[in-house]
Amino acid sequence: MEEKFRRSLYPELDDIDYGIVRALQENARLPFTTIAKELGVTEKTIRMRVQQMQDDGVLSLVGIVNPVKAGLNVESFIQIAVEADKLDDVVEVLNGIVEVRLIVLTTGDYQLFIQILVRNYEELAQFLMKKLNKVPGVTRVNVINELKILKSKFKFVR
């Protein structure tokens, strides 16, 4: 551990934070010295800000793999209707399933919306029959298969 002192809570991102985010969302390995020069502050300032934003869950610097290149060729969105009193249990089970990438509580006819990634349709069928339909409390599912991603944007800050 290096620094002992931190800003207490996160009020708002200031201009320097936004500058940092704008730079790092393009390239997570951009040298802090480069960002520092650009923003007219010292490298240590950048380092501190980045550390703090990471600690506060504002910013993550991560490697993302193209799923297709990792052999995960089939992506599906699944809406799931659940018995009201079993919702927590269902979420807990889904949480433990590796194929499940995203679980969202939503408005509408179905309470849950999940996104899954599998290698092929055989695995999708297995997932639906052996896993999802066996979860107690699940009453109805609506599977929407992804045919093609037409746009995917990770950059939130402009």
Partner DNA sequence: TCTGAAAATGTATTAAT
Partner DNA sequence: ATTAATACATTTTCAGA
Binding residues for DNA, rule: CB under 7 A, are 2-3, 5-8, 16, 31-34, 41-45, 47-49, 52
Taking the complex as a whole, how short is the minimal distance between the CB of residue 154 and DNA, in angstroms?
21
- By a kind-dependent CB cut-off of 5 to 8 A, residue 8 interacts, out of DNA, a second copy, none, with DNA
How far is Cα 128 from Cα 134, in angstroms, rounded to an integer? 8
> Which helix H or strand E contains 54, and what residues bound it?
helix 43-55
Q: How many CA atoms lie within 13 A of 69 on its CB side?
A: 3
Look up residue 26 and give its DSSP letter. Answer: T
- By a kind-dependent CB cut-off of 5 to 8 A, residue 84 interacts, out of DNA, a second copy, none, with none
- By a kind-dependent CB cut-off of 5 to 8 A, residue 42 interacts, out of a second copy, DNA, none, with DNA
Taking the complex as a whole, how short is the minimal distance between the CB of residue 7 and a second copy, in angstroms?
13
Instruction: Say which residues have a Cβ less than 8 Å from residue 139's Cβ, sequence separation at least 6.
Output: 81, 82, 83
Which residues of this protein are in contact with a second copy, per CB under 8 A?
10, 12-13, 21, 24-29, 56-67, 69-72, 77, 79, 91, 94-95, 98, 100-108, 112-113, 117, 142, 144-154, 156-158
At 153 the three-state DSSP class reads: coil
